[in-house]
């Protein structure tokens, strides 16, 4: 973290010795055909790039050429327990920074072209080989008119061939290009960093639901106007004073950050368990077998405040230790000893599909 995080690329040979892909080639292509997953197909034919969004018909995938294309599937950690477990290897980075585990299945020559990302990424090689070229160049202009943001003048300064278990870390702003040398799977563990503009827009939207200002504009005794099309200066002054009354403090910002950083992605939906359990039955089973967060759930905390999938919970002291362990490890292996109030809260989350009993984890 001190030497490389957000500073410099790092190549780690055999970062994951004897690495096994969380999903096979066929499982990745099956996800690309699913409406539940977000997938893309990138091809380069006769020097021209194309981009298509899934889901893809089986027959379309079967007719693709032998070279120069790749399928990318987002959020594989939502669909495969092994992909979700892969994230545990990166627990030295706050969960609030995690974006997803994306997989790229590529045939020889497949890739997405030289580009630059605004986020941190670990590129972990699964089956096959991929050649990466990187550059710290300042010229980041794109080729105009393409469906992909491909660098117009890519000048690599380093080159690596990654084999199964090898990993390359790239901080934001490092230009890179990965091309498959053989049929391969590459796992991208991405970490988001919201822009200041994104934070500002989201915070202003958050204020809309939390700000309450008493009073309204009035203009009793105003003189007749000779210019009805002109904005009244008194109305503008009133608006300026009203908006100046909007205030927020650290507690309000914490509430916003907790909600914003744990809000599930728009395409994420939770399903209640197929068989509902009474609070007593849930506690008996969960305390024995343990509980885990659904792979799509996001749980974070700060002090006494906890945030589950965008909703705040102010936890009393007796609950905090158990909730912090669940937020850190994303699971509590059985047997679990916790106060009754913890099980009441966990049962409510289980009923919404946010939490699962460990033995029921798909």
Mean pLDDT across 71-92: 96
pLDDT one-digit tens code per residue, 205-233: 999 888 888 999 999 999 999 999 999 99
Q: Could you state, in order of their start, the residue ranges of all structural domains in the chain?
A: 10-191, 279-360
Region 312-335 average pLDDT: 96
pLDDT in tens, 25-34: 999 999 999 9
CA dist 326 and 330 (Å) reads 5
Q: Is pLDDT above 90 for 347?
A: yes
pLDDT of residue 212: 87
pLDDT score of 361 = 60
- Rounded to an integer, the average pLDDT of 45-69 is 95
User: What proportion of the chain, given as a percentage, has pLDDT over 70?
Assistant: 99
Percent of the chain with pLDDT over 90: 94
The CATH H-level superfamily of 10-191 is Cupin (2.60.120.650)
Average pLDDT over residues 43-71: 95
Banded model confidence at residue 174, pLDDT cuts 50, 70, 90: very high
Surface-to-core class of residue 109, CB atoms within 10 Å of its CB (0-12 exposed, 13-18 middle, 19+ buried): middle
The pLDDT, as a whole number, for residue 5 is: 97
Is a pLDDT exceeding 80 seen at residue 332?
yes
Continuous segment of H or E residues that includes residue 58: helix 58-62
Q: For the chain, what is the total number of helices (H) and then of strands (E)?
A: 9, 17
Give the tens place of pLDDT for each residue, 102-138. Answer: 999 999 999 999 999 999 999 999 999 999 999 999 9
Q: What is the dihedral of CA 212, 215, 218, 221, to 10 degrees?
A: -160
pLDDT (mean) for 276-294? 95
Residue appearing with tokens 């490890």: 329
**Residue 360: its pLDDT value, please?**
66
Given a cut of 80, whether residue 359 has pLDDT beyond it is: no
Edge-first strand listing for the sheet containing 98-106: 10-12, 167-170, 120-125, 184-191, 98-106, 69-73, 39-45, 48-53
pLDDT category at 274 given cuts 50, 70, 90 is confident
The pLDDT score that the predictor gives to residue 225 is 93
What predicted TM-score, i.e. pTM, was given to this entire model?
A: 0.91
Cα–Cα distance measured from residue 342 to residue 324, given in angstroms and rounded to the nearest whole number: 12
DSSP 159-208: EEEE-TT-EEEE-TT-EEEEEESSSEEEEEEEE----HHHHHHHHHHHHH
- Is 354 a residue whose pLDDT tops 70? yes
Per-residue pLDDT at 141 exceeds 90? yes
Give the pLDDT score at 209.
86
Q: Given this model, what pLDDT does residue 210 score?
A: 86
User: In the prediction, which pLDDT does 362 show?
Assistant: 56
């Amino acid at each position: 973290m001190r030497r490389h995080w957000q500073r410099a690329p790092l190549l780690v040979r055999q970062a994951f010795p004897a690495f096994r892909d969380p999903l096979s080639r066929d499982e990745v292509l099956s996800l690309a055909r699913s409406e539940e997953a977000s997938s893309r197909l990138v091809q380069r034919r006769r020097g021209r790039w194309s981009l298509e969004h899934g889901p893809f018909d089986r027959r379309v995938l079967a007719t693709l050429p032998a070279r120069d294309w790749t399928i990318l599937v987002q959020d594989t950690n939502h669909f495969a327990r092994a992909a979700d477990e892969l994230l545990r290897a990166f627990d030295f980075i706050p969960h609030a920074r995690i974006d997803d585990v994306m997989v790229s299945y590529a045939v020889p020559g497949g890739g997405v072209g030289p580009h630059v990302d605004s986020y941190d990424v670990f590129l972990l090689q699964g089956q096959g080989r991929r050649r990466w070229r990187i550059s710290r160049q300042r010229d980041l202009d794109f080729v105009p008119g393409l469906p992909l943001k491909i660098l117009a003048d890519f000048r690599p300064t380093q080159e690596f061939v990654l084999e199964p278990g090898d990993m390359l870390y790239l901080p934001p702003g490092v230009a890179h290009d990965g091309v498959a040398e053989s049929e391969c799977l590459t796992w991208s563990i991405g970490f988001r960093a919201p822009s200041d503009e994104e934070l500002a827009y989201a915070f202003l939207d958050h204020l809309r639901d939390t700000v309450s200002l008493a009073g309204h504009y009035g203009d009793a005794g105003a003189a007749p106007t000779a210019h009805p099309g002109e904005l009244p200066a008194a109305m503008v002054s009133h608006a300026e004073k009203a908006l100046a009354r909007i205030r927020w403090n650290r507690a309000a910002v914490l509430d916003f950050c907790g909600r914003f950083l744990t809000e599930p992605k728009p395409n994420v939906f939770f399903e209640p368990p197929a068989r509902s359990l009474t609070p007593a039955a849930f506690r008996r089973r969960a305390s024995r077998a343990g509980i885990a967060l659904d792979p799509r759930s996001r749980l974070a905390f700060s002090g006494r405040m906890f945030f589950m999938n965008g909703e705040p919970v102010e936890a009393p002291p007796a609950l905090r230790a158990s909730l912090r362990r669940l937020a850190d490890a994303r699971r509590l292996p059985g047997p679990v000893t916790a106060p009754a109030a913890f099980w009441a809260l966990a049962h409510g989350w289980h009923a919404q599909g946010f939490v699962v009993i460990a033995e029921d984890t798909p």
